[in-house]
Structure 1
């Protein structure tokens, strides 16, 4: 039996930046790069039923201290 522990993850839901029209018109690359530097990885979008992105789901591994 394997005694190695499984990784533990923490999650973050990021609301995509929106312009005045409330549509995804602002490029989130800079914010995602900042979060990536903190160890966050984009898992994928959480979409509205009729289209459009409600949240971007991110995760990062919790390291034992």
Structure 2
């Protein structure tokens, strides 16, 4: 496990769960999830609709990861 300190900084991203035209069936978000994972994001929470079902997926990564990814993409 990573040793975390009070100085750790995090940034967050959300992904709205893709839904079909009928709004009843979610489409498979595997491609989007793999893209976020490749960028250093990890799933930490879901935000649900009041009546049930998932509305958003919440991801976090170390703020340092975003600096590293920016440097690597240059």
Do the aligned residues in 2 keep the contact of 1:44 with 1:57 (CA within 8 Å)? yes
Residues 3-59 of structure 1: per-residue CA shift (max 9 Å, x gap): x65210001111011111123420111110110000010112100111011110011
Stretches of structure 2 lacking an aligned partner (at least 5 in a row)? 68-74
Query: Larger relative contact order (C-alpha < 8 A, sep ≥ 6)?
Result: 1
Stretches of structure 1 lacking an aligned partner (at least 5 in a row)? none
Q: TM-score, normalised by structure 2?
A: 0.72
Q: TM-score, normalised by structure 1?
A: 0.81
Runs of 4+ in 1 over 4 A off after TM superposition: none
Tell me how large the CA RMSD over aligned residues is. 1.9
Name the structure with the higher helix share: 2
